[in-house]
């Protein structure tokens, strides 16, 4: 049987949009542990933020930070020779790190240029810890972790739709890219999909044939969803699905955030032959739609 690998977003997906709780996903999380199924966090959050949630989740698997800017693989997680020699790996005491993102200092410089150009942008680097905590509904400690960035700068924008379009075009003209989750993000030539592809290749070297699933809720998850066998999205707090996510064969989980996450994962895990079961049983999700 093929090895199942699951990639997941955090905010609004595994974590509740308002409380950052994953309590409603506990039963599915326990099933993953029992069956030894790797759960790979792939988030816009920073390394420190993800480490905080990995401790709460007792998660020992690799993770992807800041919208694909960095891949963190725990030391000795993969045996020698599994990782491609073409990858540029930075060795630290706790992790082997693959850096894909831009330098944070370059991103901050670009934000400052946008401000001088007259755009109403305000990055995390422009905010005090207290201000960020209030805007993002975080504790002060969480806001401090969110400000310790390496590859990606989230920002808020105050302007019209036309101004927004000009802003995004200007970001591209400056040689950077953008994405959007809860906030706008300016980043370099990296995204969740590129990072996920690298890890998928490594897992294939380890296990041979694998089946991949990714779960998200926002446009910044699109590159990740496009790279897996079975892309899943959960509902937004108002019960809708983000209409900007247009990925072939998308599976729509029946539930908001961690509730939808729990239902989707629970049903996936109990399918006896996942590679045939999803196709033959309408995605294997009762009460869920597939486009």
pLDDT in tens, 252-263: 999 999 999 999
Q: Which of 262, 280, 258 is nearest to 271 (CA)?
A: 280
pLDDT of 129 strictly over 70 = yes
Nearest to 213 by CA among 251, 257, 248, 262: 251
- In this predicted structure, the answer to whether residue 206 has a pLDDT above a threshold of 70 is yes
User: Burial, 172: exposed, middle or buried (Cβ in 10 Å; 0-12, 13-18, 19+)?
Assistant: exposed
Mean pLDDT of the chain: 91
Predicted confidence (pLDDT) at residue 288 exceeds the cutoff of 50: no
6 has a pLDDT exceeding 90: yes
The stretch 133-161 carries a mean pLDDT of: 95
Query: Residue-wise over 206-222: b if at least 16 C-beta within 10 A, else e?
Result: beeeebbbbbbbbebbb
Q: Which residue has the tokens 């894909």?
A: 100
- Percentages helix, strand, coil for the chain, rounded to the nearest 5? 40, 25, 35
Query: Are 202 and 83 in contact, with CB atoms under 8 Å apart?
Result: yes
Q: Which of 9, 11, 152, 221 is catalytic?
A: 9
pLDDT the model gives residue 272: 46
Q: 163-179: per-residue pLDDT in tens?
A: 999 999 999 999 999 99
Q: Which residues pair with 64 in a beta bridge?
A: 42, 71
Least confident interval from 100-109, 144-153, 261-270? 261-270
pLDDT of residue 1: 75
Round to the nearest angstrom and report the end-to-end CA distance of the chain.
Answer: 27
* CATH 3.40.50.1000 domain position(s) in the chain: 3-100+191-290
CATH class of segment(s) 3-100+191-290? alpha beta
Q: Kindly list the distances between the CA atom of residue 113 and the CA atoms of 15, 152, 171, 241, in Å, as whole numbers in the listed order.
A: 34, 16, 10, 34
Band (pLDDT 50/70/90 cuts) for residue 224 is very high
Q: What is the pLDDT of residue 282?
A: 35
Instruction: Tell me, yes or no, if 106 is annotated catalytic.
Output: no
Q: How far apart are CA 27 and CA 11, in angstroms?
A: 19
Q: How far apart are CA 170 and CA 114, in angstroms?
A: 8
What pLDDT does residue 274 have? Answer: 53
Q: What pLDDT is recorded for position 87?
A: 86
pLDDT band at 284; cut points 50, 70, 90 = very low
Q: Is the pLDDT of residue 3 over 80?
A: yes
- Which of 6-10, 37-41, 115-119, 284-288 comes out lowest in average pLDDT? 284-288
Distance CA 39, CA 251 (A): 18
pLDDT score at 108: 98
3-state secondary structure of 192: helix
At 81 the pLDDT is 79
Fold annotation for 104-187: 3.30.980
Distances (CA, A) of 119 to 11, 70, 102, 158, 187: 27, 28, 22, 8, 17
Residue 273 has pLDDT above 60, yes or no: no
Longest dimension (CA), the chain: 58
Q: Is the pLDDT of residue 188 over 60?
A: yes
Listed in order, the ranges of the chain carrying CATH 3.30.980.20 are 104-187
Which pLDDT tens digit goes with each residue over 61-100? 999 999 999 999 999 999 887 888 788 899 999 999 999 9
Please check whether residue 46 is in contact with residue 150, taking contact to mean a CB–CB distance below 8 angstroms: yes
């Amino acid at each position: 049987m093929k090895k199942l690998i699951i990639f997941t977003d955090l905010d609004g997906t595994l974590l509740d949009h308002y409380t950052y709780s994953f309590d409603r996903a506990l039963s599915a999380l326990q099933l993953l542990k029992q069956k030894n199924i790797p759960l790979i966090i792939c988030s816009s959050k920073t390394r420190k933020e993800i480490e905080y949630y990995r401790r709460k989740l007792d998660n020992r698997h690799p993770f992807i930070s800041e919208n694909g800017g960095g891949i963190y693989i725990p030391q000795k997680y993969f045996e020698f020779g599994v990782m491609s020699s073409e990858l540029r790996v930075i060795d630290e005491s706790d992790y082997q790190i693959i850096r894909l993102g831009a330098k944070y200092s370059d991103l901050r410089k670009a934000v400052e240029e946008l401000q001088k150009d007259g755009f109403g942008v305000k990055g995390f680097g422009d905010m005090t810890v207290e201000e960020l905590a209030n805007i993002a509904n975080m504790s002060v400690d969480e806001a401090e972790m969110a400000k310790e960035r390496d590859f990606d700068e989230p920002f808020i924008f105050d302007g019209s739709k036309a101004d927004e379009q000009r802003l995004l075009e200007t970001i591209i003209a400056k040689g950077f890219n953008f994405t959007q989750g809860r906030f706008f993000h300016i980043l370099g030539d990296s995204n969740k999909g590129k990072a996920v592809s690298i890890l998928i290749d490594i897992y294939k070297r380890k296990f041979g044939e694998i089946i991949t699933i990714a779960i998200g809720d926002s446009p910044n998850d699109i590159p990740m969803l496009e790279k897996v066998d079975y892309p899943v999205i959960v509902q937004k707090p108002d019960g809708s699905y983000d209409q900007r996510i247009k990925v072939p064969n998308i599976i729509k989980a029946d539930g908001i955030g961690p509730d939808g996450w729990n239902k989707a994962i629970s049903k996936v895990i109990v399918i006896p032959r996942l590679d045939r079961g999803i196709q033959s049983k309408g995605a294997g999700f009762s009460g869920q739609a597939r486009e």
